[in-house]
Amino acid sequence: MLESFAAELLALPYRLRFGRIGRRPRLFPPLLISGARGIQLGDDARVESFVALSVARGGRMEIGSQCELRSFARLEADSGHLVLGEKCSVNSFCLLNGYGGITVGNSVRIASHSVILSSTHQYKDINSSIHSQGVLAMETVIGDDVWIGSHCVIVGGARIGSHSIIGAGSVVLGDIPAYAIAAGVPARVVRMRVE
């Protein structure tokens, strides 16, 4: 009871700023927040110290119930969207950039130092700098019950099917089917979890 009261007290300043915070939040200041009105946290969400949550004008971020965001994770919706389903964990030093949109299903585990993108630089005009050509939004979708190993990179436009495992250090450039175990650079299916 006392612990729940203390957690609610810590959440009070954030309740006044966020778009929505569900019941029984566990927030551990300091949090690095930008565009708080575009952020929604579900019930029993846990957000540890030094997590960065950023939403630009027109963007939105939805963190589902019972999600855990570990210290030093960085989640950016930019002007796109970043949606985490229920019971997801984003571990320390991860970067999720939702400029082109990131949708993550339920019960997804994202190990430390992983990067999930939703855009790519344009580079076709060789007479202009890559930087000046801007970026192309490419939505990234991750299904339910996916385990993403440490130090993975998932590029914009990738789609990972439900119940898949992405091996540590992999770079996902395209689609991974459901129930697959994929690894390597670029990531390839090494075997299936079902016959």
Tell me the C-alpha to C-alpha distance, in Å, between residue 194 and each of 44, 65, 105, 146, 181.
Answer: 33, 29, 20, 15, 10
Per residue, the 3-state secondary structure of 47-92, as one string, reads ECCCCEEEECCCCEEEECCCCEECCCCEEEEECCEEEECCCCEECC
* Cis peptide preceding 186, ω within 30 of 0: yes
The answer for residues whose C-beta is within 8 angstroms of residue 29's C-beta and 6 or more apart is: 10, 49
Cα 146 from chain centroid (whole Å): 13
121 carries an active-site annotation? yes
Of 81, 113, 121, 151, catalytic: 121
CA distances from 127 to 42, 120, 123, 130, 133 (A): 47, 19, 10, 9, 10
Classify strands 119-121 and 135-137 as parallel, antiparallel or unpaired: antiparallel
Which residues are 40's β-sheet partners? 20, 62
Q: Catalytic site residues?
A: 121
